[in-house]
Amino acid sequence: MDTLAILKRGPVMPVMVIQSVDEALQVTRALLDGGINTFEITLRTPAALDGVRELVAAFPQALIGVGTVRDADQLEAALQAGARFAVSPGLPAALLPALAANRVPFLPGVATPTEAMNAFDAGFAAQKLFPAEAVGGVPLLKSLHSPLPDIVFCPTGGIHAANAATYLALPNVACVGGSWLAPANLVQAGDWAGITALAAAALAQSRQG
Ligand SMILES: O=C(O)C(=O)C[C@H](O)[C@H](O)COP(=O)(O)O
């Protein structure tokens, strides 16, 4: 499965910051119940890699990837844990040899036309616009489409229930990602039904968009 196919499979991707394996299992179950099938587990917490391992084992129907990948060691560890794709806030040069060696579907972060062109030339036609809202959001994506029509984006950073559909309606957007699908307040409260409802609403909106 290539990166674009993974984005289209979404087309809404929860960006998850997990504090424990048990929490990861509960949140993922709740999101699956709402119809989400693609998950980005950020490597920002000590529980992340164990979480990936357990999620891959517990939910074979889910596509589990990792986010916040910043170096080759993280990428290797994530692949060993069973991650099926990887996402980064950028495209650090130090990652390129590991990406070439592993051929894992990879979504690099970009924020400018030059970064988008460099990532395209490195072999990545599907890219994450990050942080989407802060760097120009919908108007920026519209402006990028004319000169760079062969680059497809997954905007993340500042996406939420009220603006996701506007992004998904753009011709160069295949997916949107964000933490709004599993917000910390609902996770801490153990409000799994609330998370299922957020997921279902996001998917319903994406189908209208
Ligand atoms: O670390 C990564 O690889 C990322 O993917 C970054 C995330 O996309 C953003 O941190 C989500 O931003 P919010 O939805 O505004 O909370």
CA-closest residue to ligand 1 atom 16: 179
Its pTM stands at 0.96
Domain that holds residue 160: 3-208
Rg of the chain in Å (alpha carbons): 16
Q: How far is the CA of 128 from the centre of ligand 1 (A)?
A: 10
User: Ligand 1 pocket, 51 CB below 6 A?
Assistant: no
* Span 125-175, pLDDT tens digits: 999 999 999 999 999 999 999 999 999 999 999 999 999 999 999 999 999
pLDDT tens per residue, range 41-95: 999 999 999 999 999 999 999 999 999 999 999 999 999 999 999 999 999 999 9
Asked if 7 contacts 128 with a C-beta cutoff of 8 angstroms, the reply is no
Question: Is 76 one of the annotated active-site residues of the chain?
Answer: no
Does 8 participate in catalysis according to the annotation? no
ipTM: 0.94
Indicate which CATH number applies to the domain containing 27: 3.20.20.70
What number of helices (H) and strands (E) belong to the chain?
11, 9
For ligand 1, whether the C-beta of 156 sits within 6 Å is yes
Domain count across the chain: 1
Alpha carbons 172 and 194: distance in angstroms, whole number: 31
Residue linked to tokens 């990602």 = 177
Active-site residue (options: 23, 54, 128, 133): 128
Q: Which of 86, 126, 93, 128 is nearest to 111 (CA)?
A: 128
- Write down the catalytic residue from 23, 40, 54, 133: 40
Question: Any residues with CB less than 8 A from the CB of 132 and at least 6 apart, and which?
Answer: 155, 156, 157, 158, 159, 167
Q: In terms of C-beta density within 10 A (0-12 exposed, 13-18 middle, 19 or more buried), how is residue 11 classed?
A: buried
Alpha carbon of 98 to ligand 1 centroid (Å)? 22
67 lines ligand 1 (CB under 6 A): yes
